Amino acid sequence: MTSADKALESLTKKLARREKEAVSDLVVRAFSFAEEACRNAGAPCSEAEVDHLLSVANILAEINMDEDTIAAGLLHNAVGTAGVAAVREAFGGEVAAIAESFNKVISIKYSTPTTSSADHAEKFRRLILSMARDVRVVMVKLADHLYNMRNLDLADARQKELMARETLDIYAPLANRLGIHKIKSELEDLGLKFTEPEVYSDLVERSERLQSEMDSYIGEVKGLLDSILADYAIKGEVYGRLKHFYSIYNKMLDQKIPFEKVYDRVAFRVIVGELRDCYAVLGAVHGKWTPVPGRFKDYIAIPKPNLYQSLHTTVIGPRNIPMEVQIRTWEMHRFAEEGIAAHWRYKEKRSADARADSIFQWLRQIVELNSDVGDPKQFLENIKGDLFPDVVFVFTPAGEVLELPKGSTPVDFAYNVHSQVGNHCVGAKVNDRMVPLSTVLRNGDRVEIVTSKNQKPSADWLEFVKSGKAQSRIKQWIRNEQRLRSMELGREILDREFRKAQKSFPKALKEGLLDGVLERFGVNKADEIMEAVGYGKVNARLVLERVYPELEQQRLDEEPKRERKSSKKPRQGIVIKGVGDVMVRFAKCCMPLPGEEVAGFITKGQGVTVHRADCQNLARSDQSRFLDIEWDLGEGAHHAVRLRVIADGKASMLPAITQALAATGVQVVSANAFPHREGKSEYIFAIMVPTMDKVAKVITELKKLKGVDSVTRTGRG
């Protein structure tokens, strides 16, 4: 029997053990179809491909996913080879839709170091959007990612780092948000293994050395907990385990302690049949051992955001060792291990039940709030706080519980009550005391919002709000306000330009003359032209000449040829996607050079300012005013760059550096010297260079000079 046969047999056995009758034939047919599609594409499936498909299917079966999802996991490659229509005809619309969505998610491949972050964000954006349509897509992705992480040892160093970071940033928190603990814990440990290999190896080695001692301790405590169940005539099971490595590692970091000082490395789980038994066992545990203050959590009364329920307490157990005890029912345990999959129905169109569906209220809100965010990186940043939060639970004046990200403020609370409450928030009471709007809320706080119809959101609020909903609504309001101001500014600029030509802009607007040139500017409404002029994206004179073409011809006829030639706009080396005839200037703060990754920022009335993509000033700027730009240099184009040289303060140093620069073939535009420290001076040179490579060569040559300590680029003028 081949490894593929064994894996397929294991899969069908998993399905056969389910309480409800499983349609294992569907899964077997899907595997056969996938193999056939692979052969028809040109060659039989390799052993590695078969292992991948069946491993993903087995992982899906282990978390109790339905057969449609398992079949889709087997068929995602077949969508690309055999076609969606063929998969739909053979297996139905649901299977085809899941397989096709998953295939689109994984179609993005990492390319270069400069594009990997964008690829990472775009892959995540596609995943979330497809997940909003059908959560089973992300189940397949989690299983696929877990398989890839289990086999990551074969990848190169850079791929290991990228995938492991993606695991800890995205997939492990996502599995946690969906309540799938068994996948979440394994992903975290594998992420740690490849991001901190030395730390991981050390933890494994230390744990193995303590294994016999821990086994003895677990056996001792398990016997005592079994006795408690017997004394109270409660039917249940007791399990003991060493906490997974990532959890121990985080505890070491948070508490700044070595491995030996993490005393509660062992956790015990008591699983009982009835809810009332949970609290009875809790009382008995607290009666037998001393509880650690502040370490009791009742996630049954107030479930976690992923609907996880359990009682958690830490007590000083035998041998004076702190230990965590988790107490839950079998139903709670099943959901804790399998998450959303534990509530999947196999009948009634295989939809999630009402309780499980409540998990995705946050997802639908996230997609709705960010539907107008085109930049994948911004999409990722906008929703990270809501998708993977540490949470606090606070109360409304009516006693309802609201769940907010850790670090949230009254403004976050206000926006989570209603957008209009947030927009008009002027003050807040926390536990009946007036507090600043930037106050960080704590578990159990009772919050009341004071509103005024004259209040408007402030950009300053973005400095302290934590929830994605608050951030999105504030930014949306600011964008709308900026749009209105830009439209008004554009109207004034156009009115002035039209009057200079003895034309009336209000009349042209009223008669619909702008409607005839909308397509020329790539917009749908006249308001958008005014907005573009106000932002500086479109020149007002260009609008005038598009509306009245005879004015353009008149201007050209009146200009002498020599003047027309000299007045042509010099090639600036930048192309702005989707926009024409735009003023472009280069930021003095970072002085971007050809070959460097750049970003464009719309400056009102001044066109587009080009920054280096890593410029710190961009991080504090309004994301809605960014444009996609790229270098487009003509032959012989040069750009200015400033160099900061720290060297001896001798009088001969400045001419020596200037001569060295001239020897490299660059043009020196300016040179200045400033006192630096005892015996040293700071020299600032502005030079003209064609590419970033030239800058590197110049810096190398200057560093060779005797008396030169350092040479760096600077934005200082």
- Between the alpha carbon of residue 131 and those of residues 101, 125, 136, 183, 387, the distances in Å are 9, 10, 7, 18, 13
CATH number of the domain that 700 lies in? 3.30.70.260
- DSSP code, position 577: T
Clarify whether residues 579 and 650 are in a common domain.
no
pLDDT digits (tens, 9 = 90+) for 179-230: 788 899 999 999 999 999 999 999 988 888 878 888 899 999 999 999 999 9
Clarify whether residues 120 and 197 are in a common domain.
yes
In a domain, 409, yes or no: no
Question: How many residues are there in the chain?
Answer: 717
Clarify whether residues 271 and 310 are in a common domain.
yes
Clarify whether residues 620 and 648 are in a common domain.
no
- Spell out the residues 6+ positions from residue 447 whose beta carbon is closer than 8 angstroms to its own: 394, 395, 396, 397, 410, 413, 428, 429, 430, 441
φ and ψ of 163, to 5 deg:
-70, -40
Are 372 and 378 contacting, i.e. CB atoms less than 8 angstroms apart? no
Euclidean distance between CA atoms 564 and 288, whole angstroms: 94
Pairing of strands 322-329, 266-272: parallel
Q: Which amino acid makes up residue 317? A: G
CATH number of the domain that 232 lies in? 3.30.460.10
Euclidean distance between CA atoms 717 and 336, whole angstroms: 59
* pLDDT attached to residue 450: 94
Best CA proximity match to 29, nearest among 84, 107, 92? 92
pLDDT digits (tens, 9 = 90+) for 278-291: 999 999 999 999 99
Are 352 and 342 contacting, i.e. CB atoms less than 8 angstroms apart? no
Clarify whether residues 512 and 617 are in a common domain.
no
Euclidean distance between CA atoms 249 and 245, whole angstroms: 6
Euclidean distance between CA atoms 22 and 61, whole angstroms: 11
- Spell out the residues 6+ positions from residue 220 whose beta carbon is closer than 8 angstroms to its own: 318
The pLDDT of residue 668 is above 60: yes
* pLDDT attached to residue 566: 45
Among 112-126, 225-239, 425-439, 463-477, name the one with the lowest average pLDDT. Answer: 112-126
- Between the alpha carbon of residue 623 and those of residues 377, 381, 382, 475, 531, the distances in Å are 10, 11, 11, 9, 17
Angle subtended at Cα 450 by Cα 445 and Cα 451, rounded to the nearest 5 degrees: 140
In a domain, 212, yes or no: yes
Clarify whether residues 86 and 178 are in a common domain.
yes
Best CA proximity match to 267, nearest among 227, 322, 212? 322
* pLDDT attached to residue 447: 93
pLDDT digits (tens, 9 = 90+) for 530-565: 888 877 677 788 888 888 888 877 777 666 554 444
The pLDDT of residue 675 is above 50: yes
Mean pLDDT of 157-174: 84
Euclidean distance between CA atoms 288 and 229, whole angstroms: 13
- Spell out the residues 6+ positions from residue 113 whose beta carbon is closer than 8 angstroms to its own: 158
Mean pLDDT of 583-600: 69
Describe the strand order of the beta sheet including 639-648 as a list of residue ranges.
667-677, 680-689, 639-648, 708-714
The pLDDT of residue 165 is above 90: no
Among 262-266, 338-342, 641-645, name the one with the lowest average pLDDT. Answer: 338-342
Among 327-336, 396-405, 491-500, name the one with the lowest average pLDDT. Answer: 396-405
Are 395 and 401 contacting, i.e. CB atoms less than 8 angstroms apart? yes
- Spell out the residues 6+ positions from residue 611 whose beta carbon is closer than 8 angstroms to its own: 587, 589, 590, 592, 598, 599, 600, 601, 617, 618
Average pLDDT over the chain reads 79
Query: First and final CA of the chain: distance in angstroms?
Result: 74
In a domain, 587, yes or no: yes
Helix, strand, coil percent values for the chain (each to nearest 5): 55, 15, 30
* pLDDT attached to residue 580: 45
Mean pLDDT of 83-87: 87
The pLDDT of residue 568 is above 60: no
Mean pLDDT of 376-391: 61
**pLDDT confidence of 114, banded at 50, 70, 90?**
very low
- Between the alpha carbon of residue 705 and those of residues 440, 660, 686, 698, 702, the distances in Å are 55, 8, 18, 12, 6
Clarify whether residues 14 and 80 are in a common domain.
yes
Cα of 7 vs its chain's centroid, Å: 35
Clarify whether residues 531 and 489 are in a common domain.
yes
Clarify whether residues 622 and 658 are in a common domain.
no
Tokens of 162: 């990228």
The pLDDT of residue 409 is above 60: yes
Euclidean distance between CA atoms 643 and 306, whole angstroms: 53
Tokens of 442: 């704590």
Mean pLDDT of 438-449: 90
**pLDDT confidence of 252, banded at 50, 70, 90?**
confident
Tokens of 355: 């309780």
Among 20-29, 107-116, 246-255, 429-438, name the one with the lowest average pLDDT. Answer: 107-116
Residue 224, burial from CB neighbour count under 10 angstroms (0-12, 13-18, 19+) = middle
Percent of the chain with pLDDT over 90: 18
Clarify whether residues 213 and 198 are in a common domain.
no
The domain boundary, picked from 186, 203, 220, lies at 203
Residue with tokens 């402030």: 458
Angle subtended at Cα 156 by Cα 150 and Cα 159, rounded to the nearest 5 degrees: 70
* SS3 category, 267: strand
Tokens of 704: 């060779």
* pLDDT attached to residue 624: 55
In a domain, 101, yes or no: yes
Tokens of 616: 């710190």
Comparing 515 with 389, the larger pLDDT belongs to 515
Residues facing residue 599 across a β-bridge: 611
Q: In the chain, how many domains are there?
A: 5
The pLDDT of residue 357 is above 90: no
Euclidean distance between CA atoms 713 and 639, whole angstroms: 14
- Spell out the residues 6+ positions from residue 584 whose beta carbon is closer than 8 angstroms to its own: 572, 574, 576, 600, 607, 608, 610
Clarify whether residues 212 and 275 are in a common domain.
yes
* pLDDT attached to residue 683: 84
Please tell me whether the overall predicted TM-score, pTM, comes out greater than 0.85 for this model.
no
pLDDT digits (tens, 9 = 90+) for 8-30: 778 877 777 665 545 567 888 88
pLDDT digits (tens, 9 = 90+) for 295-340: 898 999 888 777 789 999 999 989 888 889 999 999 899 888 877 6
* pLDDT attached to residue 558: 67
Question: Where does 578-709 have alpha helices with state H?
Answer: 616-619, 653-663, 692-703
Clarify whether residues 603 and 562 are in a common domain.
no
Comparing 367 with 445, the larger pLDDT belongs to 445
Pairing of strands 584-586, 607-612: parallel
CATH number of the domain that 149 lies in? 1.10.3210.10
The pLDDT of residue 359 is above 90: no
pLDDT digits (tens, 9 = 90+) for 499-521: 988 889 888 888 888 888 887 77
In a domain, 417, yes or no: no
In a domain, 16, yes or no: yes
In a domain, 368, yes or no: no
- DSSP code, position 671: E
The pLDDT of residue 577 is above 60: no
Long-range contacts of 204-212 (CB under 8 A, 24+ apart): 204/245, 206/259, 207/242, 207/245
* pLDDT attached to residue 124: 64
Cα of 607 vs its chain's centroid, Å: 30
The pLDDT of residue 262 is above 50: yes
In a domain, 494, yes or no: yes
Q: Which amino acid makes up residue 279? A: Y
The pLDDT of residue 276 is above 90: yes
The domain boundary, picked from 566, 591, 620, lies at 566
Comparing 43 with 470, the larger pLDDT belongs to 470
- Between the alpha carbon of residue 433 and those of residues 398, 430, 436, 560, the distances in Å are 17, 5, 10, 75
The domain boundary, picked from 597, 614, 631, lies at 631
Domain holding 624, by residue range, is 574-631
* pLDDT attached to residue 193: 93
- Between 116-133 and 93-105, two packed helices, what is the crossing angle to 10 degrees? 160
> For residue 7, is it left (φ>0), alpha (ψ between -120 and 50) or beta?
alpha
